[in-house]
Amino acid sequence: MTSDRWEPAVFKARTDQVLRRFMAEETERFTAIDPALGPVADQLKAAVADGKRLRAAFCYWGWRAAGQPDSDALVRAAASMELVHAAAVVHDDLIDDSPLRHGRPTAHIALRAAVRQHPRAAAAARSLAMLVGDLLMELAGQLFATSGLPAAYLSRARPLWASLARELVAGECLEILRTGAEPDTGTSLKVIRYKTAKYTVEQPLLIGGALAGAGERLRAGYSAYGLPLGEAFQLRDDVLGLFGDVAETGKAGTDDVRGHRPTALLAETWRVAGADDRDRLRAVLGRRDLDEDGLRTVREVMRRLRTPDRVEAMISARVAEALDGVGELDVPPHAAAALTTLAQAAAVRLS
């Protein structure tokens, strides 16, 4: 950054450049083992080709808000957060059997072309996708470790990686364990917190802060800001998943209903639904052959019970809580302004 003014497009371009170069080098090494690995390498690159780079931005501002200057080495370290996200997305799409991401076939679907001759082609493609996600997580650690920041700085942040991985996996496990169960808002919010909220906002901020040597009070402020904002981010995702424009979201609108996932949107609907509406929902939730009529039924029940409005209120309350947290942070004005802008970007979006 050439000034303290937050320029999201400039930061995204810097992060994209880091990721493109790093992935080009790593996939070249990967395919040097055997050219047959080309389709897998293509999915490694595709996994990081898109994104708003919010996680990298939160890591960057965790550093800057602690008083540290702009740094190319820090941008490299922050970019590793995007590889964590890419790994989580590949695994999540695989677990949920999602067909689309960013308007393109997901890794386990795209890789079917590479294993047409395999006697169990679909299973083989899923196995390849699992390994793509595993390698992306390893590459995240490698990019972080080779960012160019001093070893002493990196050692301060390293313990947070164990926490990030543990909580991310715990959240994904909780979602699997609760999928198909009777919807419950408290359970859904816990899944949201551990599966998405913490690694999207709080942990990147804390890692950036640890790199910068942030004190205990500032780290507590990062959590007070990051947790509610991360929850707002995922609640927005839930709303967009069912009510968003597929052309904007790039994801199939049937995924959450077809998978009977424990979303807050469904849980809030179930909480206020009467017996007749619950029967309507039971008839379509979890159906692998869910069609547009079934999806329309769910949307109609939710709208009539005003669930989207209640979830919007939950989002607004969490954004307000996060912004109140910014006001309590003792950080430079440009950092407070950037964190305020990022809060809006995370919660008010179309994809």
How far apart, in whole angstroms, are the C-alpha atoms of residue 241 and residue 239?
A: 5
Contact call for residues 57 and 342 (beta carbons, < 8 A): yes
User: 8-347 adopts what CATH topology?
Assistant: Farnesyl Diphosphate Synthase (1.10.600)
Angle at alpha carbon of residue 141, lines to 97 and 204, rounded to 5°: 80
- For residue 31, what are its two tokens? 């395919």
Hey, how many other C-beta atoms are within 10 angstroms of the C-beta on 47? 28
Give the predicted TM-score (pTM) of the model.
0.94
Strands 100-101 and 104-105: antiparallel
Parts of the chain with a pLDDT under 70: 1-3
Please tell me the predicted confidence (pLDDT) of residue 3: 62
Q: pLDDT tens for residues 309-339?
A: 999 999 999 999 999 999 889 999 999 999 9
- Strand blocks (E) in the chain: 100-101, 104-105
